Structure 1
Amino acid sequence: MHHLDLNEQPGAPVTEMVDTTAPVTRGVPSVWGSVPQRNKNFTGRETLLADLRERLTGKVTAVLPHALHGLGGVGKTQLAIEYAYRYAEDYDLVWWVSADQQPLARSALAGLAPRLGLTGVAAGRLEDVVPAVLDALRTGRPYARWLLIFDNADQPETIRELIPQLIEGTTHSPGHVLVTSRNHRWESQADVVEVDVFDRDESLAFLKRRVPGIGTDDADRLAVELGDLPLALEQAGALQAETGMRVEDYLRLLAKEASKLLAENPPSDYPVPVAAAWALSVSRLSEQLPFAMDLLRRCAFFGPEPIPRDVFDRGRSVIDSPLRASLEDPILVSRAMRELGRYALARIDNRNKSVQVHRLIQRLIREELDEEQSAGMQREVHELLAAADPLDASDPANWPRYEELLAHVIPAEVVSSAHPRVRRLFSNMVQYLYETGDYTTCRQLVELAIDQWTADPGQDERDVLRMRALKTDVLWQLGHYSEAYNLRRPTLDRMRDTLGYEDEDTLIVTSGHGADLRVRGEFAAARDLDEDSLARHLRIFTAEHPRTFNIANNLAVDCGLNSEYRRARELDEKTYQDRLDFYGADDHPSVIFSLSAWARDMRQAGDYVAGRKTAEQAYQRYQVLLKSGGRRFTETHPWVLLAAKDLSVARRKAGEFESALDLGKEVHEKYERTYDKRHLDRLAAGMNLGNALRARDELEEAANVIMETVARYKESLAPSHPYVHGCALNLALVQRQLGEVAAARELLETSRAGLETSLGQTHHYSLTCVFNLANVHAELGDWERARQLDEEALAGLEKRLGQQHPHTIACAANLSLDLSALGKTEEAEQRQAEALQQYTAVLGPDHPDVQAAAAGRRVDFDFEPPPL
């Protein structure tokens, strides 16, 4: 027999978990997550359980999930719960997913990552974590016997992408997927097990267990009138068990309520017995404790997931109704919760301090209210949710609370409110989704808010502008850079017109616009914008504010992109010190981030030795942070990966080719596993790997990696972007070493023209191209042209970078070879001696480039795309 306990929803998560590294033994699954509490009164349903078990473990396993299908109230969820407990020992992992809202389903699945030992995925990025989880399940590593249960998946398309797909060439999955749903469309997509009402014996057994002392005849009469529907039987059993009402009286009242319902408000997709039984329970509860009914009506406007009870406690001060006084009485609140549970109108979870109302009960309550009552109660629920807002979605400590609220923000239609506090909650929820990397859901909610708030004639334009700004951030993260620019530009203009240039929201969007300009290759414009923005930040926020630190960092990036390496170094050194003073710890993530940026500036300014040493410090500090066990940072967090990639570059520039390549391979593999193929940081890691392979003379592989990366840069950025031309320069270096000299020359000439058009002739990137073009002409034996190009590059590099920069010295050394080939021996020897002396002083005698120059070989230098 099956006992429904009112509610087909999952309870609070089970927090006691077994370490995934422990050996798997029979008995208790190593991972047991969020499965609702087992119903101690569950009996019957044996045929269904046996049928389900046979299908899930059959030799021929369906590609699609197995689905429990049936109308609301028949006990699909309770059957799934019983299956999980009864066959728990046959699984290493059992995981429950509430699937009626895609954001909740995605988040629940992402919660599996640490239980699967997936440390190599970016923390807080659902777009990356979910695929990694699905891949681990699909391949059966580390658990080959797993069970995923998707509860209330009424829209197949909502969870289709969350179901592990079969490995190509196999006929079955290592695990099982079970879905509960009311939707008939699952019949075309899954192996469906129909769940009907109880058979009569199950109904009788249930009622005898639920209502002590009830006779067989009375139980049979109740089962007949209630259509053997489990939810209706639970309602009836609870009322009679708690009140001692005679069956005759209950049936008389039931007939009256059913007739009334059919005459006045015939149900559409739920059975009459549910509504009739519910009406009787509500009537008795209203007589005994009206406040409990008031609470229940408010619960009807939350989502069907567990409602944290402290939502009512925190929100009592904002409620402007008679309910406020009752909420301030904790004894009365506790009694009301107890009564709701007694009459099976809500599921009370005292361990997790939550209350949960079945979706059918919620609908019945809402339908009995008039429009004015509904609007008022929905407004109160919005205010209760807003009062529970932690107010800072960027702090990971607040993410569990936002996860709880997310379950209700969408069903409660929070987006429809114009109240400032409620709008703030919705904005913070969108920010939370952005911070945790659920960009797909974030974009959906942003667009919903923009559409609804724009259509509201009384809307606050600031709210709409904030949403548009958030949308641009999401588009940027998704790699839609042109679309982000086209939205952010007019949004920024409107903010400046209506809010002013120095409004806090305007300044935030201004910072994002600087990134847009960098992606467009407009490096000088980005620098000018951020220069002005920094001055405004200093006036509005002062020098000791995280936002000021951020814009100072951005300006340093701009300076580097405009070949102003010394100023970039000065800015980042100051920002590092400012952040260190502000946060008071050298292991704070933002402090380490600035240290890594400072190291990059040292390298770009030509101080390879100090740059490598500082980059090592930043990398090691991140490693210590990772070992501290914090959830915020993993080995594939974008800051951690950026520091590792920059260290690989720094090692190579310092002449440590082997260790640079080892780290470059490791970093690139992590980027490939974690980020989209067009992600700019992933592409930069690919270019670093190609350059590291070339430095180790692994030319064929280097050519393949660089060629692929250049192609993807063209997809992600405009074909005319400086990075496309700079990376093409790297490809030309490999081509020349492979003997494809003519192709290298053509590519370098094209890149030179593109770089000089976008950045000018004196930009470091343009001069780098001229330098390498001289090497190509030398390879072709055109020494006069090589000399002209080397002299042109040398003059520009001395002015741009100074005489002690390794690039300047390398160019002087190469020029000495041109002069020697042209018969100008004396001048050549003098230049070579000077170059070697400077080279040795800057890099040391053992550096490969110094040794190459001493041996009379030409020196190359490549392009490393900095972060945008």
Structure 2
Amino acid sequence: MPQRNKNFTGRDDLLESLHEGIAADVTVVVPHTLHGFGGVGKTYVAIEYAYRFHHEYDLVWWIPADQPMLVRSALAGLSPHLGLPPAGSAGIEDTAAGVLDALRRGEPYSKWLLIFDNAEQPEDLSDVIPHGPGHVLITSRNHAWTSVADTVAVDVFTRQESIEFLLRRTDGGISPQDADRLATELGDLPLALEQAGALHHETGMSVDEYLRLLREQTIQLLDANKPSDYPLSMTAAWSLSVSQLESKLPEAGELLRCCAFFGPEPIPRDVFGARDEEHATQSRLRGLLGDPILLSRAIRELGRYALARIDSENRTIQVHRLVQALLREEVGEADRLAFRHEVHLLLAAAVMSHSPNDTTGWPYYAALLGHMSPAQVKLSHEPPVRRFALDMVSYLYSSGDYSSAHDLVVELLDQWQAASGDEDMSVLLARGHLGIVLQELGDYLASFELNKETLARMQAVLGPEHEETLLLTNSHGADFRARGGFAEALEHDRRSLERHREVFGPDHPQTLRVVNNLATDYLLVGDYERAFELQTSAYSQSRRVLSGNRQDVLSSWNGLARIVRLRGDYFGACDLGEDAYEFGCLELGADHPWTLRTAKDLATAKRRAGLIDEAFDLAQQTFEREERIFGRDHPDTLAAALCLANILRARGETVEALALLRDTTRRYWRAFGADHPFRYGCDMNLAVLLRVNGHLDEARRLDQESLSGFDGRLGRSHHYSLACAVNLASDHALLGDHETARRLGQAALAELRALLGERHPLTLASAANLVVDLRAGGAVGEAEALAAETFGHYREALGAAHPDVQLAMAGVRLDFDFDPPAL
């Protein structure tokens, strides 16, 4: 909450009316809106309501609502108080969604109050108002709220409230009669009265002198044709306060004008202390910013004259949006451009020492996010400022807020392309950032086309060995994987690694990212030994080099756990995965995209290890989170759905699994296209569930189509193809065609032994299925010899109590399924 206004006066009837209305909403939240003209005190009424009635709530939370990005950021900041991962270490979008869900359920608190301050259109908040057991209070200048919510109109002070306020604000320094005269001239507008009272308190100016100057200011303002959007009394009072402030401390006036070009949200005090060398010499505020004592005095003077709200607890400065608007209009165009430029440089310098990929820097970026659009950062041509803007985009997608990152980078691109052309460095970099965001949003086709075109431009403009060209080269490798071109991705990333090592060196973070991606390429083409070698190297180096970049560490860690599982060490994969998942929850938050990907892989490892109930709990929780955060059609959600369906089948809940997978299969086509290996993998899983639910002919047809697709894209010797061939053999066997089943099974077993080794659990499972087919075909001796050879190794690999071992020993066929890695 903002600090309470010690001079708050009156409004008792309004507060009581508001309290009675809002308290009537016991089970369903009806938003209550305080609306009114700027300067009438809507925000202060909301603050006073919160402090006066806080004893009725377990939790009260304040949310700046005039910019959509700030709403979710403020909601995310509530997460630690609800027992959720903290906003500073989890993605904004997913953390805010988790907060809303907890509030709707009333867990852990049912008595809560959310205050959305300075909301604009009702539709801006439609998806962030939690309809639960608590209360919502909104302040707005927009009367459109009257049609969608119970509203309380906030007007100017009554005359008695004005007099009482002025007497309190001036510590009795003026008479009630003089207070009445001031109130008459200032139209009882609270913000104007606040500044008049502050001016008297600071200067001892008589009321007669104040009114004389006010009349002179009014004449000047009328001559200047001030816009009718603002009350003339407010404009005159503000102008008078500023002139008196400047006569006392001119530097404070310059600081105030500078603050007018930030956003209306609180400005971190430290913004005025961080400057680079060039800015220190160019700044028009260099004398003030270079003298910490003078700066502190200037800030205090702004508070004394009621021209800014100084929050000492949170170390912020906030200027009323109406005062900001008046200040901006008061200066000439040259000064307006100069102050805006000053703000841009201050914002850029404030995060200069903080990487947007480092979680420790995220609070700094979050504090400045609300100033990006109001300060019109996109208009700057300065390279450091544009780099700051792109770093803000990086912060947003690194923290998991993909939609805000997309909106911001598109806004920057539209402006920069028009101003600087397609081949400008900042435009090329922004296009690269947009490509990353499109990848994360699952729009693979758009990402591929954009990155392909941008990379060609970078190579022509910057050269193939330029740092930024290489960064995009690495990112483009994911585009090939997303298209199902695993061999193309492998060749692309091999070349990329050579260039990265030449330019950056072997231990550079960018080089390690390529190694990590190359390991994924080898995994996807089925070379698990090479993938393991590279992933082990990437993981060990990332723990040493990438200490601040928790995402890359977790990505490498989870990649190692995944390849350990694919090589057949399910228990080792569980141990590694548990550690990685705990790291992700602690450092990034349980809802961060990479933590969720790690959770999905860990659930798969637990299922392979026979820990079915543990796997189910984790898989169900992960799927629900993915769906809530990204929606049902996002590739990560689809992967989580496959994981959950596989575990439901292992639990015997085959009808539920089939329903989930039928829906998921349709979505896989749309996400990846008709000829993607992942689409065939999803169909293969569906075929297994069709078979176990008795739809044998449909299962055989789907497996045959999937196998043909795998053969065409990956070849028969690939792990995915062989798994599908084993499943197709099961289809034929259950349909009575034991000879076809045997031939398929024998061929697949020979390939699996060569690919994975004779003692890999999947090789042993394939052998166990072949034992069943040999017995059914009358080759009892061959079957028993294979059984004797297989079952002992199976028990050694997984343990006698493992569900798969027990099924194999009982002569029950085993099913293979597909689990997609993150691309």
Is the TM value for this pair above 0.5?
Answer: yes
Which residue of 1 is the match for residue 155 of structure 2?
A: 196
Residues 486-495 or 342-351, more deviating: 342-351
- CA positional deviation for 1:551: 1.4
Give the TM-score, by structure 2 length: 0.93
Which residue of 1 is the match for residue 360 of structure 2?
A: 397
- CA positional deviation for 1:413: 0.8
C-alpha contact 1:151 1:181 (8 A) present in aligned 2: yes
- CA positional deviation for 1:580: 4.5
Q: SS where residue 481 of structure 2 aligns?
A: helix
- Segments of structure 2 that go 5 or more residues without pairing to the other structure are none
Q: SS where residue 152 of structure 2 aligns?
A: strand
- CA positional deviation for 1:273: 0.5
Distance change in 2, residues 1:818/1:360 (3 Å)? closer
1:464 is aligned with what amino acid? V
Residues 736-745 or 417-426, more deviating: 736-745
Which residue of 1 is the match for residue 198 of structure 2?
A: 238
Q: SS where residue 315 of structure 1 aligns?
A: coil
2:124 is aligned with what amino acid? T
Partners of 1:440 and 1:511 in 2: CA distance: 23
1:270 is aligned with what amino acid? Y
Partners of 2:653 and 2:800 in 1: CA distance: 24
1:723 is aligned with what amino acid? F
- CA positional deviation for 1:271: 0.3
The one of 299, 303, 310 equivalent to 2:259 is 299
C-alpha contact 2:554 2:584 (8 A) present in aligned 1: no
* Correspondences of 1:781-792 after superposition (within 5 Å): 781-792=736-747
Q: SS where residue 505 of structure 1 aligns?
A: helix
C-alpha contact 1:667 1:685 (8 A) present in aligned 2: yes
Residues 216-225 or 307-316, more deviating: 307-316
**Structure with the largest fraction of helix:** 2
The one of 427, 443, 450 equivalent to 1:480 is 443
Distance change in 2, residues 1:220/1:561 (3 Å)? same
* Correspondences of 1:212-611 after superposition (within 5 Å): 212-315=172-275, 318-319=279-280, 320-321=282-283, 323-389=285-351, 390-457=353-420, 461-582=424-545, 593-605=555-567, 607=568, 611=569
Partners of 1:62 and 1:667 in 2: CA distance: 29
Partners of 1:123 and 1:354 in 2: CA distance: 22
Which residue of 2 is the match for residue 136 of structure 1?
A: 102
- Segments of structure 1 that go 5 or more residues without pairing to the other structure are 1-34, 166-172
Q: SS where residue 152 of structure 1 aligns?
A: strand
* Correspondences of 1:61-76 after superposition (within 5 Å): 64-76=30-42
Partners of 2:205 and 2:123 in 1: CA distance: 46
- CA positional deviation for 1:799: 4.0
1:329 is aligned with what amino acid? D
Distance change in 2, residues 1:196/1:62 (3 Å)? farther
C-alpha contact 1:120 1:635 (8 A) present in aligned 2: no
Partners of 1:707 and 1:509 in 2: CA distance: 37
Distance change in 2, residues 1:316/1:785 (3 Å)? closer
The one of 29, 41, 56 equivalent to 1:90 is 56
Partners of 2:753 and 2:558 in 1: CA distance: 27
Partners of 1:419 and 1:506 in 2: CA distance: 21
Distance change in 2, residues 1:122/1:554 (3 Å)? farther
- CA positional deviation for 1:501: 2.5
Which residue of 1 is the match for residue 91 of structure 2?
A: 125
- CA positional deviation for 1:129: 1.8
Which residue of 2 is the match for residue 14 of structure 1?
A: none
2:141 is aligned with what amino acid? R
Which residue of 2 is the match for residue 867 of structure 1?
A: 822
Which residue of 2 is the match for residue 718 of structure 1?
A: 673
- CA positional deviation for 1:208: 2.1
* Correspondences of 1:672-687 after superposition (within 5 Å): 672=627, 674-687=629-642
Structure 1, residues 80-134: CA drift from partner, whole Å, max 9, x if none? 1111111111111111111122222221111111111234999522222222222
Partners of 1:428 and 1:590 in 2: CA distance: 17
C-alpha contact 2:85 2:95 (8 A) present in aligned 1: no
Q: What CA RMSD, in Å, does the superposition of the two structures yield over aligned residues?
A: 2.9
1:569 is aligned with what amino acid? F
Distance change in 2, residues 1:121/1:673 (3 Å)? farther
- CA positional deviation for 1:455: 0.7
Distance change in 2, residues 1:73/1:563 (3 Å)? same
C-alpha contact 2:688 2:699 (8 A) present in aligned 1: yes
Distance change in 2, residues 1:213/1:624 (3 Å)? closer
1:146 is aligned with what amino acid? W
Residues 206-215 or 552-561, more deviating: 206-215
Residues 831-840 or 548-557, more deviating: 831-840
Distance change in 2, residues 1:175/1:556 (3 Å)? same
Residues 153-162 or 270-279, more deviating: 153-162
Q: What fraction of aligned residue pairs are identical, expressed as a percent?
A: 51
Partners of 1:243 and 1:113 in 2: CA distance: 45
Partners of 1:824 and 1:208 in 2: CA distance: 105
- CA positional deviation for 1:816: 4.9
Partners of 1:62 and 1:656 in 2: CA distance: 41
Partners of 1:345 and 1:542 in 2: CA distance: 53
Distance change in 2, residues 1:248/1:517 (3 Å)? same
Distance change in 2, residues 1:262/1:131 (3 Å)? same
Q: SS where residue 151 of structure 1 aligns?
A: strand
Which residue of 2 is the match for residue 29 of structure 1?
A: none
- CA positional deviation for 1:437: 2.3
Distance change in 2, residues 1:512/1:459 (3 Å)? closer
Distance change in 2, residues 1:406/1:214 (3 Å)? same
C-alpha contact 1:232 1:274 (8 A) present in aligned 2: yes
C-alpha contact 2:2 2:47 (8 A) present in aligned 1: yes
* Correspondences of 1:13-32 after superposition (within 5 Å): none
Aligned length: 819
Partners of 1:769 and 1:321 in 2: CA distance: 67
Structure 1, residues 288-320: CA drift from partner, whole Å, max 9, x if none? 322222222212111222223332232385142
C-alpha contact 2:91 2:592 (8 A) present in aligned 1: no
- CA positional deviation for 1:835: 4.2
Distance change in 2, residues 1:322/1:146 (3 Å)? closer
C-alpha contact 2:88 2:362 (8 A) present in aligned 1: no
Q: SS where residue 180 of structure 1 aligns?
A: strand
Partners of 1:75 and 1:532 in 2: CA distance: 63
Question: Are 1:210 and 2:173 counterparts?
Answer: no
Which residue of 1 is the match for residue 748 of structure 2?
A: 793
Which residue of 2 is the match for residue 730 of structure 1?
A: 685
C-alpha contact 1:599 1:612 (8 A) present in aligned 2: no
Question: Are 1:187 and 2:146 counterparts?
Answer: yes
The one of 756, 760, 770 equivalent to 2:715 is 760
The one of 660, 664, 678 equivalent to 1:705 is 660
Question: Are 1:79 and 2:45 counterparts?
Answer: yes
Distance change in 2, residues 1:122/1:801 (3 Å)? farther
2:363 is aligned with what amino acid? P
The one of 98, 102, 107 equivalent to 2:73 is 107
Partners of 2:3 and 2:811 in 1: CA distance: 77
Q: SS where residue 137 of structure 2 aligns?
A: strand
- CA positional deviation for 1:676: 2.8
Partners of 1:55 and 1:428 in 2: CA distance: 45
C-alpha contact 2:725 2:744 (8 A) present in aligned 1: yes
Partners of 1:214 and 1:62 in 2: CA distance: 48
- CA positional deviation for 1:821: 4.2
Distance change in 2, residues 1:37/1:420 (3 Å)? same
- CA positional deviation for 1:854: 4.9
Partners of 1:588 and 1:404 in 2: CA distance: 21
Partners of 1:653 and 1:135 in 2: CA distance: 32
C-alpha contact 2:274 2:346 (8 A) present in aligned 1: yes
Partners of 1:769 and 1:316 in 2: CA distance: 60
Distance change in 2, residues 1:647/1:717 (3 Å)? same
Partners of 1:459 and 1:851 in 2: CA distance: 63
